[in-house]
Amino acid sequence: MQPTVSTISAAGQVEATGSIQASGRLEGGVVYAPVSHVLVSVAGTYKPMFAAPPTYVFGTRQWEAGVGSYVGLGEHSRLTGLLGYGRAITKRGDYNLLSNETWDVVQADYSKSFAQLGYTLYNPRFSFHWLVRYSYLAINQLTVADYYRNTLQPLDLTRLDRLDALFCFRSQKGLPPHWRWQLSAGWSVPTRQYEVLDEHGYEIPEARRAQFVAVMLGVGVVFCPTH
């Protein structure tokens, strides 16, 4: 999931965001300030298991919740921080276009703890956001296909560390009051690589692919009923 973006500046303000990512994921979230300088957030993402021709399918379900704070750095800038926790289930499979059949290649079930820092530059018409997030992923289950045995075999990979960087632009142009559209772009990289070997001492390719560099591109809308 992409880091949480917020323009909240006072107690009682709330923002709801919905977006679609270039990967096909649907994401949604809410940020609320119950009291001054305190933020709480919840977010989720979903992508159904549908074919991505010609060779594979991919699906995911994730949720997260966070708590943090914001502080003004002048009339038109703000610093925000969040700490949070979440869970995710993802699956990737091979797809045969001729037979319209799929079979699992990778299944993952993991929890994550994250810390993020963001800087916002804004005015009443538009805003710019720069965010950095570190995530620690505790893997509960990670299995890959064993084509020789025609089964799914567990991988000895119990954690991943990732660093996300995101830029986001929001604007009210062309929309009614309290609505914004947003564009976001960024990337997610592993901060360290873990080598996983099979019983013969060879590196397992799918373990390396699980530690991929991901590009984040998205477009969405924001509803700010209180500001």
Taking only the tens place, the pLDDT of each residue in 4-17 is: 899 999 999 999 99
**How far apart are the C-alpha atoms of 193 and 132, rounded to whole Å?**
20
Residue 133: strand, helix, or coil: strand
Taking only the tens place, the pLDDT of each residue in 24-72 is: 899 999 999 999 999 999 999 998 865 544 455 678 899 999 999 999 9
What is the pLDDT confidence band of residue 182, given thresholds at 50, 70 and 90?
A: very high
Each domain of the chain, given as residue ranges in start order, spans: 14-223
User: CA of 162: how far to CAs of 23, 135, 165, 193, in Å?
Assistant: 18, 5, 10, 10
DSSP 154-204: E-S--EEEEEEEEEEEEE-TTS-TTEEEEEEEEEEEESS----B-TTS-B-
Taking only the tens place, the pLDDT of each residue in 75-87 is: 899 999 999 999 9
CA pseudo-torsion sign 58, 61, 67, 71 = positive
Taking only the tens place, the pLDDT of each residue in 114-169 is: 999 999 999 888 999 999 999 999 999 888 766 555 566 777 788 899 999 999 99
Taking only the tens place, the pLDDT of each residue in 81-109 is: 999 999 999 887 765 555 555 555 778 89
**How far apart are the C-alpha atoms of 11 and 92, rounded to whole Å?**
42
CATH of 14-223, one of 2.40.50.140, 2.40.40.20, 3.40.920.10, 2.40.128.90: 2.40.128.90
